[in-house]
Amino acid sequence: MNFRYKLMQFMSGRNGIDNLFYALFAVAAVISIINCFVNSFVLQFIIWIILGYAFFRVLSRNVEARRRENQTFNRMAMGFKEKRNVRRQRKADYNHVYKKCPACHAVLRLPRRKGKHNTICPRCNKQFKVHVFKA
């Protein structure tokens, strides 16, 4: 039997590499680069703990628990990505300004006109003033 077949046989029924493993490995690499300049025993210990946990996850036979951990991580990562995309879209939108309603906290997309304006929230029908600085 060749090495690849033995490795496949060993890894069957185990969790394997997933997105959380890649994230943990990246965090360990960044801390390792920082530790090159700081040269701290505590940071080195943290790196070993992170890598140990990452490889424990790879070799774990409790696939369901590891799947839930990875799913939670993916949900959190997608939340950050969605927020980043919303910020980019708003920054690229030069014709509108985004303001929150003080009553219901709905985000309103208003035309960008310089000055003070009265606005009515379409969700709660509350009237409030909006001040736009740049046109």
pLDDT digits (tens, 9 = 90+) for 15-44: 888 999 999 999 999 999 999 999 999 999
CA atoms within 13 A on the CB side of 67: 6
Please determine, for residue 1, whether its predicted confidence score (pLDDT) is greater than 80: no
**By the 8 A CB rule, do 129 and 119 touch?**
yes
pLDDT the model gives residue 135: 58
Report pTM: 0.62
